[in-house]
Structure 1
């Protein structure tokens, strides 16, 4: 099947440079977790909303009333954050598929509904479309294949209920090539490739100006990130050259800070590896300034946001060859793939990437930052507004 890339204007043009046709409309984003929860999904919606303010009569975010990983205490049912209304709904059952009966009332005032991720909200709004009749689109955010858990059930679910639901939406925005390849098998007429926007200013030019044997990894401390394999590679790398260091930046998820610290100590890496839990952006810039390379042993990525953020800082990536990272490597030759199931192979790939940087430090850093610039939020916001026009027939 021919890949359909959603049309866009020049990436350098801000979305505000194009007159909006939605000035009298209410846009409702539906997402299971939002601020104060922290994560890639939450950051994406928050960043998109920030660029849509003033282009709609009103924007509302509908989400759940508890942060899954940190507290059972209910958050305020209504709140205004940065001029955007946030409506939080109670839910029942598992956080994997939180049943939320209040969703139909929450979107009653919507002129357009944008659903994020493939979960209860995605299915419920598709199944009830005959009643609410709202124009809808959804963004995949990696689907639900982040781990191998319940893989057989997930495949059956995807080929049945997810297939049915996906074809009830006006469009399915796939935020990565791997998502596009997956979802075009069940909804070929609906899928569009709209890659994630990235805040390329946050860590711009933050990495070490001169090559240094420092690695950084960024992301939730979840099992799919395979920090354990990255530490195995560090063990092999420091055995070859003890000058290498690794900074792990993350927030607890499947693993706690104590779990990661134990992994570090067990491998005898306490002198080479530092763990940073939930640092601020300013603190992260200071950590990145000690490094030249970004590393990830993640077995699954919905998009690879951290990789692009790292490249915006001038870091060169050495990453596991999962579907999302392979897609990046096919388009950008600065992305090096490694097999982190083989620590020695990963160590060699890290050394080769560092040698490439040392051969032309300024030029390679500049190329990394230029590559990241192609994923700016200005371009992504334009693509979504064009997709909104398609879905609503404007």
Structure 2
């Protein structure tokens, strides 16, 4: 196997083992995207690229790093396209859509995390279908495993999406409040980070859920696997999404999913995922489906089928080998 020398150019100071890290200090970074201040570091990044002289540039998030990579004019580029960044941020205005289209056409290949995203890129940006590979990185199947009996898990529900508007935490808490009318001791664990943390903490108090909801900061993957094994049902009520790895990590740990009724999740339900899909406009209906999920999570036929799906589609080792082959092909084609 090829040994890669990996350089990470990032606006985050956190280093990644096995890589050479280049930290570009910037203004505060918004977790929800739209970080236009990135462009002010373009000269520094172009200088770095010339110094490193990489075989390939792999940029993540089309509307930020994808555009920066485009402006470097480096020939061998692969863009990773993700959820809301593509469906909302990249088309928020005509100028952004024009620039993102230019970046996508310059890239040699594009990695899309869902079939719906692939179709969106083809239709909205006129990208040739053969230029896109539809896959997700996958998860560590050795780390995320079903290790606890359902009756031994202290939390009914867990949600670990970013603390941003798109995650709809108000609606989640309202649904817990509605469910509490029939299940007084309902327990929800919230784990994450983001700009709305104080707002979420305030809403927990306002909705009278301080005895029902535990709010924790983001944790490392090892701890997240442990926390997932402390809950029965996974919640994700996002307005838009791609293929969130957090969902598959949860299913690998045996949790039953309750998800917003959006295209991203319907795509996986059509592939065989067993889940409840809920309308983001009806709190009472959502509470009913959450209650039903607490029964379904006890049925191993459902949870085992979801675990089997995770192993089929989300094996990190297999998926990364596919992406590595893509990188090698891009490099080979340029020689």
Distance in 1 (alpha carbons) for counterparts of 2:100 and 2:320: 26
Instruction: Please give the residue correspondences for 1:55-70 in structure 2 after superposition, counting only pairs within 5 Å.
Output: 55-56=3-4, 58-64=5-11, 67=12
The Cα shift of 1:124 comes to 3.7
Distance in 2 (alpha carbons) for counterparts of 1:92 and 1:231: 32
Q: Is the 8 A contact 1:215 1:246 kept in 2?
A: yes
3-state secondary structure, aligned to 2:180? helix
Instruction: Please give the residue correspondences for 1:84-163 in structure 2 after superposition, counting only pairs within 5 Å.
Output: 84-90=19-25, 96-97=35-36, 98-99=38-39, 100=41, 101-108=43-50, 109-129=53-73, 132=74, 134-142=75-83, 144-145=85-86, 154-163=92-101
Gaps of 5+ in 1: 1-18, 21-54, 68-74
The Cα shift of 1:234 comes to 0.6
Deviations 1:104-129 (A, max 9, x none): 22122211111111134322432442
The corresponding residue for 2:18 is 83
1:311 and 2:251 correspond: yes
The corresponding residue for 1:328 is 268
Q: Is the 8 A contact 1:201 1:312 kept in 2?
A: no
Distance in 2 (alpha carbons) for counterparts of 1:333 and 1:365: 9
3-state secondary structure, aligned to 1:144? helix
RMSD: 2.7
The Cα shift of 1:276 comes to 1.4
Instruction: Please give the residue correspondences for 1:356-367 in structure 2 after superposition, counting only pairs within 5 Å.
Output: 356-358=296-298, 361-367=299-305
3-state secondary structure, aligned to 1:240? coil
The Cα shift of 1:341 comes to 2.4
Moved more, 312-321 or 192-201: 192-201
3-state secondary structure, aligned to 2:191? strand
Distance in 2 (alpha carbons) for counterparts of 1:184 and 1:194: 16
1:262 and 2:197 correspond: no
3-state secondary structure, aligned to 1:118? helix
3-state secondary structure, aligned to 1:215? strand
Deviations 1:212-260 (A, max 9, x none): 6701111221111111100111111111222321111112x1212x322
Q: Which has the higher contact order (CA 8 A, sep 6+)?
A: 1
Distance in 1 (alpha carbons) for counterparts of 2:151 and 2:15: 44
The corresponding residue for 1:350 is 290
The corresponding residue for 1:46 is none
The corresponding residue for 1:392 is 331
Change (3 A) 1:110 1:284: closer
- For these two proteins, the number of residue pairs brought into alignment is 319
The corresponding residue for 1:216 is 158
3-state secondary structure, aligned to 2:10? strand
Change (3 A) 1:235 1:329: same
What's the TM-score once normalised by structure 2's chain length? 0.85
The Cα shift of 1:159 comes to 3.7
The corresponding residue for 2:319 is 380
The Cα shift of 1:330 comes to 1.7
Q: State which of 224, 227, 230 in structure 2 corresponds to 1:287.
A: 227
Distance in 2 (alpha carbons) for counterparts of 1:92 and 1:267: 34
Change (3 A) 1:128 1:280: closer
Deviations 1:180-204 (A, max 9, x none): 1221221124222122322233331
Distance in 2 (alpha carbons) for counterparts of 1:285 and 1:348: 27
3-state secondary structure, aligned to 1:61? strand
What's the TM-score once normalised by structure 1's chain length? 0.73
Distance in 1 (alpha carbons) for counterparts of 2:27 and 2:56: 26
Change (3 A) 1:291 1:90: closer
User: Which has more helix, going by share of residues?
Assistant: 2
Deviations 1:43-98 (A, max 9, x none): xxxxxxxxxxxx22x2211122xx4xxxxxxx5xxx97523111123557986121
Gaps of 5+ in 2: none
Change (3 A) 1:284 1:112: closer
Change (3 A) 1:122 1:393: same
